[in-house]
């Protein structure tokens, strides 16, 4: 865009201007600028957790809301998520070192027979952006792979994704197997994908259907909070 010729020097901006600028840069998927912003805030003594929440997560929330509202579409969100991922690359090791709080853990995968991972990747990135730990099993995940990962990772949430009418019933196979083994209630099961809907999610025994990645994050947060409350009360 040529209408603005003066180069923006991020390091010249005070915190209260830099952070909104980072939100804009995330929105525009400007990876290098997001990384630079993260580095500047860290140099200025921000904790990694504060950079994550106030700069990256808050920025991705704007992206997520506009995605939900049909203002942004998948290409823009993928670019934004890639920029966030680059910023996360710097923060991740620091977050581990500093013992920053985690919201919860999720194991996620696209079901057997389905190659489509766009939605699943968006959910992964948005969940990470929101402060969840995410273990991504990739595409074409069969029931044994899901069960193995649940046993190994002990997550709060199991996420399953499908884009095809021919693969979405496989979610029921996984949930039924969990039920048979008496494991169903150990996990919050969230499902998503273009051909699904709320009623379908309920019918196959999932805890919730998530229309898009932004809704997945909101739903995950709500369920995890409820789970923690129940644990505290019980």
Residues that bind another protein (CB under 8 A): 1-8, 20-21, 24-25, 27-28, 30, 33, 66, 69-76, 78-79, 82, 111-116, 118, 139-140, 142, 163-170, 172-173, 194-197, 199-200, 203-204
Pick 21 or 177: Cβ nearer another protein: 21
End-to-end CA distance of the chain: 57
Pick 48 or 201: Cβ nearer another protein: 201
Smallest separation, CB 140 to another protein (Å): 5
Residue with tokens 């853990």, as numbered in its chain: 105
Encoding tokens for residue 215? Answer: 């809704």
Give the distance, in angstroms, between the CA of residue 158 and the centroid of all CA atoms in the same chain: 13
Pick 6 or 151: Cβ nearer another protein: 6
Give just the sign of the alpha carbon dihedral 183, 187, 188, 193. Answer: negative
Pick 25 or 156: Cβ nearer another protein: 25
Smallest separation, CB 33 to another protein (Å): 8
Q: Which helix (H) or strand (E) holds 68?
A: helix 58-68
Give dist(CA 181, CA 223) in Å, integer. 22
Smallest separation, CB 82 to another protein (Å): 8
SS3 213: helix
Smallest separation, CB 146 to another protein (Å): 12
């Amino acid at each position: 865009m040529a209408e603005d010729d003066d180069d923006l020097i991020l390091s010249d901006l005070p915190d209260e201007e830099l952070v909104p600028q980072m939100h804009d840069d995330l929105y525009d998927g400007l990876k290098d600028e997001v990384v630079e912003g993260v580095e500047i805030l860290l140099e200025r003594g921000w904790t990694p957790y504060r950079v994550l929440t106030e700069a990256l997560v808050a920025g991705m929330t704007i992206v997520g809301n506009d995605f939900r509202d049909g203002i942004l579409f998948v290409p823009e969100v993928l670019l934004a998520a890639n920029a966030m991922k680059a910023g996360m690359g710097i923060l991740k090791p620091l977050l581990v070192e500093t013992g920053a709080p985690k919201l919860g853990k999720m194991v996620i995968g696209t079901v057997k027979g389905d190659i489509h991972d766009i939605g699943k990747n968006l959910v992964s990135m948005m969940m990470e952006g929101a402060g969840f730990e995410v273990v991504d099993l990739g595409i074409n995940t069969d029931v044994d792979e899901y069960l193995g990962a649940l046993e190994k990772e002990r997550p709060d949430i199991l996420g399953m994704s499908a884009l095809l009418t021919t693969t979405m019933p496989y979610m029921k196979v996984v949930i039924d197997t969990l039920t048979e083994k008496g494991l169903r209630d150990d996990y919050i099961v969230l499902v998503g994908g273009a051909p699904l809907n709320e009623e379908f999610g309920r019918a196959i025994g999932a805890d919730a259907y998530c229309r898009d990645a932004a809704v997945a994050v909101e739903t995950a947060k709500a369920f995890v909070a409820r789970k923690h409350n129940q644990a505290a009360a019980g």
